[in-house]
Amino acid sequence: MQTIGQNVLVVTAAVVASLLLMVWVNRVWPSEKRHNYNDLVGWQLSILGTTYAVILGFMLYTVWTTYGEADLNVELEANAVADLYRLAEEFPEPQQSQLKNQARSYAEAVVNRDWQEMANNEEPKQSAAISSGMWQTVRSVRPASPTEQIAQDHALSELSLLAQHRLTRLSQSSMRLPNVLWSVLLVGGVLTIVSACMFGIQSKKLQALQIFSLSLLVSLSLVAIADIHRPFHGLIHVRDYAFRQALESMQDN
DSSP of 168-204: HHHHHHT----HHHHHHHHHHHHHHHHHHHHS--S-H
- Quote the pTM value: 0.86
Mean pLDDT for the stretch of residues 119-138: 91
Residue of 143, 142, 137, 174 lying closest to 159 (CA atoms)? 137
Question: Mean of the pLDDT values across residues 180-187?
Answer: 94
Task: Identify which has the larger pLDDT, 44 or 181.
Answer: 181
Q: What is the dihedral of CA 148, 154, 159, 164, to 10 degrees?
A: 170
Per-residue confidence (pLDDT) for residue 252, from 0 to 100: 53
| pLDDT tens per residue across span 92-105 | 989 999 999 999 99
Return the ∠ at Cα 9 (arms to 6 and 10), rounded to 5°: 85
Our separate counts of H helices and E strands in the chain read 10, 0
The residue ranking higher by pLDDT, 3 or 76, is 76
Q: Residue ranges per domain, the chain?
A: 4-222
Q: How confident is the model at residue 1 (pLDDT cuts 50, 70, 90)?
A: low
Give pLDDT, residue 216: 95
